[in-house]
Amino acid sequence: MGVLIVGNRKTARRKTRKKNASAQPTFRAPTRHAHAQTPRPDGTFRFSDRFITRTSTALVVFMFVFIGAGLIIGPIGVNVGGDAEETLVILAVWLLGIGTVLPLLLSGILGGDAITAGGGFLGFFLIVGLFAFVAGGTDQGRELLGPVWAPWAFGGGLALMVLAGAGFWIIGWIARVPMWLQAPALGAPRLFVRGSSDNPADVVIPNQLDERHR
């Protein structure tokens, strides 16, 4: 009889433990799918301001270093002469090309991805169109491309820039991020179509994302 009592007590303890375990809340780590479904606040980009600032600074420094090195090595190669001249001139051309193309291409791709996932292809086509437009519209580019391909590069580059620029405005409007117009000059005032600005020189059109007009 004593054995039966012990067995019943053990069984009761097991049932109590199972009941308590089932009653306790379980923690589940958020999945990537659940994180992707979290809505982004209006007026914000996919990337943080810190990431955008650091990346922009790194790209500008990269551009200045490579272009500066190319501008220094090129004249040195010309003055040295001999077998080293061709090597140094080719190196300078590569430095100038990489220092110009790579930062602009990365900035365009990251700019599109900062608005929406997959938007980087618009930045890619924008920069490719810019280079094609410049190549087809300059004497050096026309000499390199020839009379047949130069007009195609000029017209195709212009079309790519227009389409990519329109695409940027479309995805920006859908993603509800700050949008503005600015002249291509350092320190030029901006015309905000969406969003707000603390700079008194900027012009802000009243909109839903402007904190001052809420």
* Res 6: pLDDT: 46
**Residue found under tokens 């300078």:** 92
Tell me the average pLDDT of the chain. Answer: 82
Contact between 169 and 179 under an 8 Å Cβ cutoff? The reply is: yes
* Res 213: pLDDT: 46
DSSP letters spanning 85-148: HHHHHHHHHHHHHHHHHHHHHHHHHHHHHHHSTTTHHHHHHHHHHHHHHHHHHSHHHHHHHHHH
For the chain, the domains span: 46-177, 178-214
* Res 7: pLDDT: 47
Residue 46 is encoded by which pair of tokens? 């996919």
What pLDDT, in 10s, does the model give residues 76-134?
A: 988 887 778 889 999 999 999 999 999 999 999 999 999 999 999 999 999 999 999 99
pLDDT at 155 over 80: yes
pLDDT at 43 over 70: no
Integer angstrom CA distances of residue 208 from 86, 161, 196, 200, 211: 59, 28, 10, 19, 8
pLDDT at 29 over 80: no
Residue bearing the bigger pLDDT, 15 or 133: 133
* Res 22: pLDDT: 52
